[in-house]
Amino acid sequence: MNITGAVLEEIGATRPFAESRPITLSELELDDPGPGEILVQIEAAGVCHSDLSVVDGNRVRPVPMLLGHEAAGRILGLGAGAGGSGRSKLSVGDRVVITFLPRCGACASCATNGRLPCEIGTAANNAGTLVGGERRLSRDGVPVNHHLGVSAFATHVVVNRTSVVRVDDDVPADVAAVLGCAVLTGGGAVLNAGRPALGDTVMVVGLGGVGMAAVLTAIAAGHPVVGVDTLPEKLERALALGASEAFTPAELAESGVTASVVVEAAGNARAFETAISGTSAGGTTVTVGLPSPTAMASVSPLSLVAGARTIVGSYLGSAVPQRDIPRYVELWRAGRLPVEELISSRISLDGINRAMDDLADGHAIRQLIEFSAP
């Protein structure tokens, strides 16, 4: 079928992207779903830092690539054997959260309870293919790469069934979309990787979509929360969402405030250093941001030893989407996890280059691309 999608043509374009326009809206051909794959009509897609990281070259991926990895939509078609059975059964018409790390469920890493990303899913993501090595996207007969097995900045996608989690119809598409990356990653950084004890304070450094999702999740779990960001507007937002205190990194250093669990969600080395210095003795620093591969941080080994501190790296919030998304849905349904508060603006697909500028400038939490019904 023919679809419209936002294709990244070149890596490392000059800012502002609204002028250099590295992403173009294109007509593409989308193949039918193969065995184990599904066709989904996209309803909503979030603009995440991991999209920007491909645009600015911090994460080198093959181009042309149809970006977008946080989304929700409805199943329009099922390839052979993709329906499955039992609790993971998928049917035409179901609403699904699409997640950016397919889990085969059979490799050694999939057996680590979320600690390690799936080997097969990671290899496919790095190659710009779906699990199984196929590309279902092309333009004028030339293959176009998939982004993290999703490529959701498009009217329709074909994804592997292991990339989706079914949700009930009472979960709106915008809520379902942000569950797929921001909440899985930020929430998982707190609950799966940080594992705060009852009453522990949780600090979050970097208040973008993932960081704010960590704030909301920690509050939902009953923890006092400290927010840290360089931008005053983000600090105000964290306080409005229920954080007890909020500081710039300089204010935090001056205040001497620390926490038992500190989540770094900014994706830069200075934020990582701030997170370590904000970690109490006996506490845990969780780093979930994705800095440039060349970024280096400075850490005092003595402070780790003398303070019995732990540093934990967590990819995708150490999440198992099939296990974790239903938990976040339950918290949302109970009114304890208002994930719609993460959505800072709603845009259409043609605003994607400007959206990358806004994200790079730090002035967005989650910009949501909405797709009108046909």
Smallest gap, in angstroms, from Cβ of residue 337 to Zn ion?
18
Tell me the two tokens of residue 100: 């950016």
Q: For Zn ion, give the closer residue by CB, 107 or 295.
A: 107
Query: How many CA atoms does the CB half-sphere of 373 hold within 13 Å?
Result: 2
Residues 61-80 as b or e (16 or more Cβ within 10 Å = b) = bbbbbbbbbbbbbbbebbbe
Q: For Zn ion, give the closer residue by CB, 120 or 218.
A: 120
Q: Which of residues 159-198 bind Zn ion (CB under 5 A)?
A: 181
Smallest gap, in angstroms, from Cβ of residue 352 to Zn ion?
15
Q: Where are the alpha helices (DSSP H) in 169-320?
A: 173-178, 184-188, 209-220, 232-240, 249-255, 269-277, 301-306
Phi-psi region at 282: left, alpha or beta (left = phi > 0; alpha = psi -120 to 50): left
Residue 265 carries which DSSP code?
-
Pick the piece of the chain touching Zn ion (CB under 5 A) from 14-22, 57-65, 112-120, 193-201: 112-120
Residue 104 lies near Zn ion (rule: CB under 5 A): yes
With vertex at residue 231, the alpha carbon angle to CA 222 and CA 273, rounded to the nearest 5 degrees, is: 75
Smallest gap, in angstroms, from Cβ of residue 72 to Zn ion?
14
Pick one of 107, 116, 239, 347: the residue that binds Zn ion (CB under 5 A).
Answer: 107
Query: Could you give the CA distance from residue 368 to residue 347 in angstroms, rounded to a whole number?
Result: 6
Pick the piece of the chain touching Zn ion (CB under 5 A) from 24-32, 82-90, 114-122, 299-307: 114-122
Pick the piece of the chain touching Zn ion (CB under 5 A) from 15-23, 47-55, 335-343, 361-369: 47-55
Rg (CA), the chain: 20
Residue 48 lies near Zn ion (rule: CB under 5 A): yes
Residue 218 lies near Zn ion (rule: CB under 5 A): no
Residue 110 lies near Zn ion (rule: CB under 5 A): yes
Smallest gap, in angstroms, from Cβ of residue 47 to Zn ion?
9
Residue 280 lies near Zn ion (rule: CB under 5 A): no
Footprint on this chain of Zn ion (rule: CB under 5 A): 48, 50, 104, 107, 110, 118, 120, 181
